[in-house]
Structures are given as C-alpha cells and as structure tokens.
Chain A
Amino acid sequence: MRWITSWCKKELTKQNFRLAGWLSVGYFIVLFLSIVIGQIDRFSHINKNPSNYYYYDNLMIHGGFIPAVLLFIMPTLTALVLFRYLHKQDASDFIHSLPSTRKTIYLHHTVFGIFSILIPQILTYISLFIVDQAMDHQNLLDLADINRWFHLSASTGLIVFAVSVFVAMLTGVTLVQLIFTYIFLFLPVGLTFLVVFNMHYALPGLSMNYLVEDVIIHFSPLTDLEHVFMETDMNWTKVMIYYGLALTILVFSYFLYKRRPVESANQAIAFHSLKPIFIYSFTSSFTLIGGMYSGIFQYELPILFLMYIIFSVIGYYISQMIVEKTWRVFGKVKQLGYFFVVAALVMIGFSLDVTGFVHRVPDPDKVKEVYVIDDDYNFTERVNYYGRQPGFNDPEDIKNIQALHEDLIDSVERHDFLNYYRSIKIVYILENGSEMVREYSLDDEEFELYENYHITNHPMYRRYSEPLFYINPAKANKIEVKSEHYNYKELKITNRDQIIELIERLRQDTLALPQEDHLNYMMNYLTIHTPGEQEVYINLAYEYESTLQWLDEQGLTKEALILTEDVERIVITPYKEDLYHEAASYETAFTDDERTIYTSPEAIDQLLRQMTAGTGEPTYMMMVYLKQLSEPLMRSLDETIVFPE
C-alpha cells in the first residue's frame, strides 16, 4: 500500500475529478437509465403479460442508441479534458514544473481516465446483477449476458480512450486530437478501402470485400460495430485482443509522453520528425480519395490521372497548412515534387503488375478446395453462422474452375469493378492452409461465359450455397408448409422421423434441380425450424419431385399444398400498369372479350405450372381465385406463357 500512497497524489486526482468527473457521473446516469431501468421495465412487462415475450439476450441492443454512441464519445471526451493541459502552453509549463515525474503525471491521468470509464460500467454491472438476482424474469437475463455486455463495453471504451490518449501525445492542439481520434479509429478500414479501391484500377481480380470485411474491419471497434452489437456469442479472443491493444497503445503513449517536447503545445504535430510523415500520409490519402472520386463518377483514364494530381496538390497544401498553422504555404513545393516522383513510380509498378498478381492462378496440385461464390453476402453469413461446408475438391472440378478463372482473367476489363455488375468470387484454399481470393465484376457477356461452366448446377456448389445442407436434421424440431395467400393451406410437421425424411428428400431434390430461372414455383413454401438457429426457407417448385411425392405418400399433400382442385377459376387479362395489382380494378377495366376465364381442371393445372413465367416484360395479368376466398392471387406474366386450348 505504501507505494500507492507515495505515488498517488490526492490533490492531483481531485483536480482530475473536477475536470473529467462530470463525464463519468453523466455516463453512469445514462447507463443506469437506459440499461438498468430498461431491463427492470422489460421484466415487469413480461411478468404482467407473459405473451409479450421476446427473447434477445444482447444488452447492447436493449440499451439502445444513446449508450452505444456514448461508448465512442465519452472516452474521447475524457481523454480530451484530461490531456488538455498538454495543449495549453501555460498549463503544460505549470504541470511539468511540479515535482512529479512524467511517469507519475501520465499514470495519474490515464489511470483516472480508465477508472472514469470503468466505474460507471462496473456500477451498471452490479446493478444488473442485483436486478438479475432480485427480479423474476423467466431467464431473460443471466450472468453471461451481463458479463458479455460489460466486457464489450469496457474493451471498446478502453480502446477508444487509448487511441485518443495516443493522439493527444502526437498533437498540440485539442481540436486535432478530437478529429484524429476518430480518423485513427477509422483508419484501418478507411485506408485499406481507399488503397484497395485504387489498386483495382491496376489489378483486376482484387477482392475488396474479402480484405475489408473479413480482415480489417475487426481492427477497430468503431468499424466492428456489427460484431459489438449483434453477436449473440461474445468472441472472447477479440475482447482480449481489444484489452491487450488498449494497454499496448497506452504503454506506447507513455513512451511518447516521455519524449514529447513540452514546448510543442499549440503545434498541430508535436514531434518534429512526424511532420514529413504526416504530410506524405495526408497527401497520399487525398490522392487516393481523388482516385475514388474519379471512380464514383466513372471518369475515363486521363481524367483519373488528372484527379490524382489535383487531389494530391489539395491534400499536400492542406497538410502543410495544418502543420504550419498558416495559409501561406504555397511556396513549399520541394516535398510535393518528391511525392510526385514516388507516386508515379508506385503507379507504374502497380500498372505493370510487377508481382504478377493479375495472371496468377494457383497450381492445381496445391489447391485443397475451391469455392465459386456469386452471392458473397449470403455465403459469408452462412459461413459465419454455421461454419464452412467443403468446397470443390475433385481435381476435375478444380481444373474446370481454373479454366473459368483463366477465361475471366482474359476477358475482364480494368474498369469493370466500377460498375454495379454481378460479381463472382473465387476462393482457393491451398494445401498450406492459406487462401487466395479473386473477385471479378462481370458484365452480361462475361456473366454468360461464367454460366457456360454450369457451376451453379453442380451438387458441390449447391451443398455450400444452400442453408439446407448446413443444418443438422436431427436438431430441427418443426417443418411448416404454408401457402402464400392468406395461409390458405398450412401444415406443421413435428414428427422427428418425418422431419428427417423430409429434409433428406429436400436435399435430394435440391441437388437435382435445374437452374433457378428454370424452376416453376408453386404457391407454397416451406420453413425448417431449428431451436436457437435461423429458420431455413424453401420456395417449393414443381421440380421438387421427390419431396412432393413424399408428401403424397404420407397423405399430407391435400393439407399442405394449394392444388388444382382448390382453384375455382383463373382469369387472364392484359397487363395494365396503372391499375396496379388491384383485383377489383382489373375485373372492371376489361370487357368480356378481353378477359379469358378458365375453369377446367386441365387448363387450371397447366396455368398453375406457369406461374413463374413472369421474369420478362409483363404482358398479362393472371388472377387465381381459390375456393371460398374472394380475393384472387395475382401474378403478372410475360408473353412466353402458353395458354390452354
């Protein structure tokens, strides 16, 4: 204890409390009102009305917007007021004239800052714990939820604080500290995004999403918000890394503090040696922004280079103005000259693709698996949710995909990435465990080339692309078959054997299905429910032959599906856009000559099988009247429809 008392200066702490204590107190009040009171309210609602039950165990979400925003504002403000003295010459002189070493001063301020962030969170933690113990809440909250909330809040708060302290050391101006705290938090993603975007000009096939979403986004809690707020399971490794990173940044900042010249108060950049680094980084970032600006407006290549030049000049002079704190910087051109030379060399290097990035296709023998992904978002979601399914691993398939890859390399244009084309991603998992990822934006012609390889029909592709193959049939507890129109038909299957059989049939059918745009959908869909997991949704089509046959065998068809016998009549009229899809308007807008009414079971059956013929330009409107139901089901059809005799 002795070392603490000798080290801890009560009056200095008091002074810190006068400066930053109000932030801490305010933060606790907000946390208490939004999170603790919020939980109490939620539980009393549920106790009063148990049907009002909703289960969501993420306290971050329950707290709402304000505590989430405060998690990024409060630590920054704390660092801002605690280290304000560094940025005022008189205060800085005074503090450093005191008989305290820089270590003592730094520790006082950072430890105070850490406590002023943690204490409100700890108090909230205790309050939540008491609420959890004292209230009857039907297991809506448990210690794990509270722990998760606490560690996510604490690690995020600390890392924001640490970054802000770090920036405080680098600058002598508080406003710069404020702005650059957030710039630094965005920097990993922002800079990568800019660099990758601009590299696309030179290197077709580069996958931006892969880099940004899979790797860099996790580097900063500010860009990792989705994970902080949405994850139902806390990623302990990440939390530990955030804690460790916060500590590392604070220790590093201490060494900066020791070396920081006191006289740099009021200077934008505290360390003389950082000035050129700042100027070149800022200029580079601006140049890259120029490239992106040019990309967004789809400028041609010469304009792109003009944009590079204009933005680099703007960025260069802005950075000079920040560093020199004056407008009169236009005489300084030497560093800009150096920048142009290096930037030109880098651009030439990338354009010539000196590393052979563009044409690289891995050696088939070294490839363990390949994924071809044309719906990256859902693929990533599935992998994050269920884990990975095996990809193509048959040597023939790998060869086939490599042929596709080489075709793509030959056909894609540098500018393709700027267009909102469909994109195809090829992910090679190599024998040594590393990944090689390429992504191509394909125009219609190139997409046709891709389709010619029939990859989406391949059972392997189906296996890793359909959620149906990811779920564990033994865990599913319910399958519902519903129909889209007012739930005209509804069937629930809860028998375990039936569930497992049905999933097996569905899988069989899925592997054998033709391409998606050749399917003839029915008016029925099916959902597979697994407790604690997302449900799997399948739109039934006539091509699910084995499934339909199974339903028939089990005698469930009549109960589950809308069949020909359920249809009273089908009316077909020309399509009129201004009538919208209102049955009554369609009924009255046309004369009997323009309308055709079908009532024979054969005609109805034939029409029902063509309900999805609506992908082209709408020409007809089909209204299906079900028995005992006044409102018809409406579909627009294109001209490919074949009318019954």
Chain B
Amino acid sequence: MINVRQVQKKFEKELVVNIDEVTIEQGTIYGLLGSNGAGKTTFLKMLSGIIKPTSGTIVFEDEPIYENKRLKERVIFIPDQPFFFQHYSIKQLADFYREQYPSFNEARFNECERIFKLDTKKKVHTFSKGMQRQVSFWLALSAMPDYLILDEPFDGLDAVVRKKIKNLIVRDVAERNMTVLISSHNLREVEDLCNYIGIIHRGKYVIHRDIDDLKTDVHKVQIAYKTAPDDLFDAFNVLHHESRGSVHMFIIKGDLDIIEGYIHTTSPILYDILPLTLEEIFVYEMEGIGYAMDHVLV
C-alpha cells in the first residue's frame, strides 16, 4: 500500500506538485492522468524515491521510500526515456540488475528473452527506441518488483508489443499482487488496463477513483415527456443535462435502481439508460467540478 500525505514539491519558488492525500492499495493498476506539465513525472519520481518532496510524506507499507534501500529493492521505475549505461549489452545490464535487485528471477529473464526475441549480447544503444523500451520492461519485470512505476510507458511501442507487455503486467498483478502505477496523457491508452484512475492538473488531484465504481455509479438517461416536470431529477446529482425538444439527456450520479424507480414515478413517454464510455464519464465528472478535459482525452 502506498500512502501519500500532504506532499508538496517546489522547484525553486514554483509549486509543481501539491497533493493532499492519496492511498493506493496493493494489487492496484493505477492510471495517473494529466496533461503535459501537470506534475505527473515529478510525482512518480517522488514515489520512486528519486527526488525528495519539499514537504509531506510518501510511505510504502508504513516506511518512507526516500533513501530506503530495502524498500527500493522492491520498487522499479521506468522513465519515459529509458536509460542504460553506455555500451552495455542486455546481458551486462542483467548482471547489473541482478546485483541491485535481490529478487531478480532468472526464469523470468529467460522467459522474456523468448517473448521479446532480442539479442542479449548486442549493445542496447544499437537498438531502436521501441526495442530499448522493451529491454527496460524486460529488465524491470525480471527483477520481480512489488511496485512498478511507469512514466508514459507505451509511447513508441507497436500494438503487438504493447499487448505482450500489458499481459505480462496483468499476470504479475494477478499472480503476485504487484502494484502498478502508469502515467499517461491519454486515457484510452490505459483504460483497458487500469482499475483505478487519478487525474492531476497543475500538480493537484482532481479525481481519484475506482473505475468499477465509476462505471456503476454514473448513468446516461435519455428520456422523453409530453410535458416534463419542472423539478425533474432535482433530488439527484446531475452532472450534465441537455434537451432537444421534448427529448432530454441526463448524466446522473447515483444508484441505478433508485434512478429507475424515480423515472417510473414521472411517467415518461419513453426512456433509455445507456452505457457510458470511461471517457464520457470523465468528461462529465470533470465538468461537474469545473475542469475542462480536452487535453487528457486526445
């Protein structure tokens, strides 16, 4: 479990990250969304123990991460631009990881070799960008971390490789209860993978939600009346309302049964309750709190 409390990070005088409280449970795949410059990378680097928060605490299982060797042996951070030592081959890098991470798993390393099919004796710098990214996943997953922190991990990967990596991640989450944090500026890229979503904007959290809760919680109601009641849905949390003639469209937050029960009492001509895409949910949610979502949903 990761617990973040009152964390602030200032670069000189500029406040880049300002988070009140966030808790990420074990086994979660957590999507961290935000536009460029929202503070995602800085937040992830603080979570990885690379940079020190100006104030506040970040604890993993009740231990602070910064300068904590034992804890960091179980945490791996993959930056948006993977870094390798100059002129190292995959094999040499594996030696390095093996020494750094005690849980390094040979069987996993060999398995990845079959999946990624890259020459382990070739220097990593001769590989293409996408291949280098695969190498970083290969090494990270071989180290069997309990926490995997990924900054924009799928940039520059083709669909096949993306799928392979996602499978590997999901398997580790399922088998070992690994916790994964993925940052992205694109919701669609991570929605099929994550079960938790956080959105940060200008260093602050605007949303932190379980996706399943969201999906069962927000509903799109299309409804038509001859004459609509004036106080329609007044008692509910309406995120959005549109009307075209006698047809109304409501986005409503709340329990489905109660909503349906209420609809029956107003005797509409017809009504439909439609599924919402995750994207729509976010657009309406954010609208509700007054944020524009344009750049998170490319």
Contact = CB atoms under 8 A, between A and B. Distances in A.
B83 A90 contact: yes
A10 B99 contact: yes
Most buried by A among B52, B73, B76: B52
Contact of B69 (A15, A18, A99, A261): A99
B77 A97 contact: yes
B15 to A, nearest CB: 14
A231 B45 CA distance: 54
A99 B83 contact: no
Contact of B83 (A91, A100, A104, A262): A91
Contacts of B87: 18
Nearest to B143: A99
A15 B85 contact: yes
Given A10-B99, A97-B50, A90 B69 contact: no
Interface string A66-84: 0000000000000000000
A248 B69 CA distance: 27
A218 B272 CA distance: 90
B183 interface: no
Contacts of B12: 272
B260 interface: no
A642 interface: no
B198 interface: no
Given A9-B100, A97-B77, A102 B67 contact: yes
A101 interface: yes
Interface string A254-275: 0000000111000000001000
Contacts of A15: 85, 96
A609 interface: no
A12 B97 CA distance: 10
A100 B100 CA distance: 8
Contact of A93 (B70, B83, B100): B83
Interface in A1-39: 9-12, 15, 18
A262 B50 contact: yes
A94 interface: yes
B81 interface: yes
A272 B49 CA distance: 21
B89 to A, nearest CB: 12
Contacts of A104: 69
B101 interface: yes
A98 B79 contact: no
A526 B72 CA distance: 80
Contact of A263 (B11, B49, B76, B95): B11
Interface in B48-83: 48-52, 67, 69-73, 75-77, 79, 81, 83
A93 B79 contact: yes
Given A93-B79, A97-B72, A101-B69, A262 B85 contact: no
B210 to A, nearest CB: 28
Nearest to A15: B85
Interface residues of A, number: 22
A101 B86 CA distance: 22
Contacts of B76: 97
A98 B83 CA distance: 12
Contacts of B49: 96-97
A12 B42 CA distance: 26
Given A90-B83, A97-B72, A99-B69, A261 B52 contact: yes
A100 B101 CA distance: 10
A10 B83 CA distance: 20
Interface residues of B, number: 30
A102 B51 CA distance: 12
Contacts of A90: 79, 81, 83
Contacts of A94: 79, 83
A99 B79 contact: no
A99 B100 contact: yes
Contact of B100 (A18, A96, A98): A98
Contact of B45 (A18, A93, A98): A93
Contacts of A101: 67, 69
Nearest to B16: A263
Contacts of A18: 85-87
B91 to A, nearest CB: 12
B61 to A, nearest CB: 15
Given A18-B87, A93-B83, A99 B73 contact: yes
Interface in B10-49: 11-12, 42, 45, 48-49
Most buried by B among A94, A98, A272: A98
A11 B52 contact: no
B179 to A, nearest CB: 16
Contacts of B52: 261-262
Nearest to A88: B83
A168 to B, nearest CB: 19
B106 to A, nearest CB: 16
B69 A9 contact: no
Most buried by B among A94, A96, A99, A104: A99
A253 B82 CA distance: 29
Contacts of A261: 51-52
B135 to A, nearest CB: 13
A104 B69 CA distance: 10
A277 B50 CA distance: 27
Contacts of B98: 11
A100 B69 CA distance: 5
A561 B98 CA distance: 88
A478 B73 CA distance: 77
A18 B88 CA distance: 10
B100 to A, nearest CB: 5
A193 to B, nearest CB: 35
Contacts of A11: 95-96, 98-100
Contacts of A98: 72, 100
A96 to B, nearest CB: 5
Contacts of B75: 97, 99
A91 B81 CA distance: 11
Nearest to B52: A261
A91 B79 CA distance: 11
Interface in A583-642: none
A262 B52 CA distance: 8
A15 B95 CA distance: 11
A259 B145 CA distance: 28
A96 B50 contact: yes
Nearest to B42: A263
Contacts of B73: 99
B56 to A, nearest CB: 16
Interface string B91-129: 000011011110000000000000000000000000000
A334 to B, nearest CB: 15
A262 B42 CA distance: 11
A311 B67 CA distance: 45
A393 to B, nearest CB: 62
Interface in A97-147: 97-102, 104
A424 B100 CA distance: 67
A364 to B, nearest CB: 59
Nearest to B100: A98
A94 B76 CA distance: 10
Contacts of B96: 11-12, 15
A99 B101 contact: yes
Interface in B210-246: none
Contact of A97 (B11, B48, B71, B86): B48
Given A9-B99, A262-B52, 12 more contacts: A10-B99, A12-B99, A90-B81, A94-B83, A96-B50, A97-B75, A99-B71, A99-B73, A99-B75, A99-B101, A262-B51, A263-B51
Q: What 10 A-B pairs have minimum CB-CB distances, sorted nearest first?
A: A99-B72, A99-B73, A94-B83, A90-B83, A11-B99, A11-B96, A97-B77, A96-B50, A262-B51, A99-B69
17 contacts: A9-B99, A9-B100, A11-B96, A12-B96, A12-B99, A18-B87, A93-B77, A93-B83, A97-B49, A99-B71, A99-B100, A100-B72, A102-B67, A104-B69, A261-B52, A262-B51, A262-B52
